[in-house]
Amino acid sequence: MSDKDCLNQCRKEIEEVLALGDEQGNVRTRDLEYLMTAIESKSGIKLSLSTLKRIWRSDDDDRTPQPATLNALVSILGFESFQDYKLSISEQENDEILPQISKKLPIGFVVAIVIMGLFTAYRFWKNYEPPIKIHIADPVKFTADKTVDKGIPNTVVFEYDLTGVEADSFFIQQSWNPANKTWIDTANHFYSSTYYTPGYHMARLMANDSVLA
């Protein structure tokens, strides 16, 4: 919904809340004077009578009032900002659309979707295998040797021995950054990695999400 449409909706709701307008629904000057007082009392913002007249008689005007003016208007409806008011309208529209969509769907189609969802959940539950708990039977070996004493890039050769460890997966995390993590094969004992930034790096040997060394 556009800001203009939201403003029109806001005007209608304010008229209902404050009982503005005559029997024909025409908002009079004294109604707007009452609204001006109500807005100042509610929000502390004093809008001029000319501003309210322009808003209430701007059906052919495409200009949108200033944000502060809009915020002052919706304060009558209990909102802190015009954006909050727009969001509430969107939520109401979604609540109205969803039941309409569900009514249009054939009951057989809905039942089929429910059955498929239950079947998928059952297969997932049946095939689910809980992760292996980490079990360490022997000491873990983890060393690192640089190929260059100084400067970058520098290739580091990690040596590890995980024969005494049981877990689902194993990784070497090259630095503090968790994204810089590589899966390693327990059948091997060496892994090389190149560093392109200077400084001191803390590498980690990991099993599942736990740090071994």
Which run of H or of E encompasses 184?
Answer: none
pLDDT value at 156 more than 70: yes
Count of beta carbons in the 10 Å neighbourhood of residue 189: 14
Mode of pairing for the β-strands spanning 181-183 and 154-161: unpaired
**8-state DSSP, 68:** H
Alpha helices by DSSP H, listed for 105-172, are 107-127
Would you kindly state where each structural domain of the chain is located, as residue ranges?
Answer: 3-97, 135-211
Token code pair at residue 177: 């950054």
pLDDT band at residue 131 under the 50/70/90 scheme: low
- Looking at residue 37, its pLDDT comes to 92
pLDDT value at 98 more than 80: no
Asked if 63 and 54 count as a contact pair (C-beta separation under 8 A), the reply is no
Give 209 or 125, the one with higher predicted confidence: 209
- Looking at residue 94, its pLDDT comes to 63
pLDDT band at residue 129 under the 50/70/90 scheme: low
- Alpha-carbon span 91 to 87, nearest angstrom: 6
Which run of H or of E encompasses 40?
Answer: helix 29-43
Token code pair at residue 80: 């802190």
Using one digit for the tens of pLDDT, what is the confidence trace for 13-66? 999 888 888 888 889 999 999 999 999 988 888 889 999 998 888 666 667 788
Lowest-confidence region among 164-168, 178-182, 191-195, 200-204: 178-182
pLDDT value at 100 more than 60: no
- Alpha-carbon span 159 to 119, nearest angstrom: 46
The stretch 142-156 carries a mean pLDDT of 85
- Each as own residue / partner, the long-range contacts of residues 26-35 (CB below 8 Å, 24 or more positions apart, any chain) are 27/56, 29/53, 32/56, 35/76
Give 22 or 101, the one with higher predicted confidence: 22
Count of beta carbons in the 10 Å neighbourhood of residue 144: 15
Using one digit for the tens of pLDDT, what is the confidence trace for 109-122? 677 788 888 877 77
Lowest-confidence region among 62-71, 117-126, 156-165, 174-183: 117-126
Question: Could you give the C-alpha distances from 84 to 77, 89, 90, 94, 125, in angstroms and in order?
Answer: 11, 9, 10, 15, 42
Q: Is the whole-model pTM more than 0.85? A: no
pLDDT band at residue 159 under the 50/70/90 scheme: very high
pLDDT value at 75 more than 80: yes
Mode of pairing for the β-strands spanning 210-211 and 204-207: antiparallel
Average pLDDT, the chain: 82
